[in-house]
Amino acid sequence: MKGYDARDFPPVAVTVDLVVLTIRADRLSTLLVRRGGPPYQGRWALPGGFVHPDEGLAAAAHRELAEETAVGAPAVHLEQLGSYGEPRRDPRMRVITVAHLVLAPDLPAPVAGSDAAAARWCPLAELEPGKLAFDHRQILADGLERARFKLEYSPVATAFCPPEFTVAELRRVYEIVWGVGLDPRNFHRKVTGAAGFLAPVGRTTTRDGGRPAQLFRRGDATVLRPPMLRPASS
């Protein structure tokens, strides 16, 4: 069983798929492409494609992201989400896909790729569950759950914000991704008190109205201790 001769086995293809989450007009949205050919022709799907011969998995994910959104690597958070390889998830052949999760600030309109007839940002609330191709409904659900969970114990929420942001803008990220309301005063105290979460820029902005708010950049912490606690409801 471990002869390591690939010719003993039928062909396998390896792809990367992307769950790209962003916040547009106060709604959590994901990037979808409409499939231009069979199977699932005309259905919406997660963006993705083959891993090239001399390319690592993360590199393939970054390349696909750039092809679809013209967004460079440094501006977003990208992490591996998990691999999906049920034998018949693609009716044509054995395809194992390595899904990646991307958290990004509000990005420009997407670019339709060569194989995709169209691409768009779809608010998650408007997505009919059964409408995605392949097992992409499950992958999207897993990505959303991962994002919600990571907001608790890591500073990735800042990936949804522009490079400089206010506490209120960061709070809106938590409220939208978690679907809850948070007390602005307690949130402010907690987030500014968490070591390494935020680095003050030293300037202020009034773009949200009212009293000027401090601008922050993301700090250098990789983990939040203690974590941000999601209200008990969910």
Of 16, 43, 24, nearest to 32 by C-alpha is: 43
Q: Quick one: what does residue 203 bind among its own copies, DNA, none, with the CB cut-off 5 to 8 Å set by partner type?
A: none
CA distances from 120 to 92, 185, 203 (A): 26, 36, 35
Alpha-carbon Rg for the chain, nearest whole angstrom, is: 20
| Residue from 25, 26, 54, 128 in contact with its own copies (CB under 8 A) | 54
Q: Which residues of this chain interact with DNA, rule CB under 7 A? A: 166-168, 183-186, 188-190, 192, 204, 206, 208-214, 226, 229, 231
Shortest Cβ 70–its own copies spacing (Å): 15
Q: Near its own copies by CB under 8 A, which window of 75-83, 101-109, 176-184, 196-204?
A: 75-83
Shortest Cβ 165–its own copies spacing (Å): 27
Residue 185 in tokens: 């005063």
SS3 of residue 49 by DSSP:
strand
Q: Quick one: what does residue 9 bind among its own copies, DNA, none, with the CB cut-off 5 to 8 Å set by partner type?
A: its own copies
Contact 51, 16 (CB under 8 A): yes
Distance CA 183, CA 187 (A): 6
Q: Quick one: what does residue 192 bind among DNA, its own copies, none, with the CB cut-off 5 to 8 Å set by partner type?
A: DNA
Residue 48 in tokens: 């993705």
Interacting residue ranges for its own copies, rule: CB under 8 A: 1-4, 6-14, 37, 49-57, 67, 80, 82-87, 92-94, 96, 98, 113-116, 153, 225-227, 229, 232
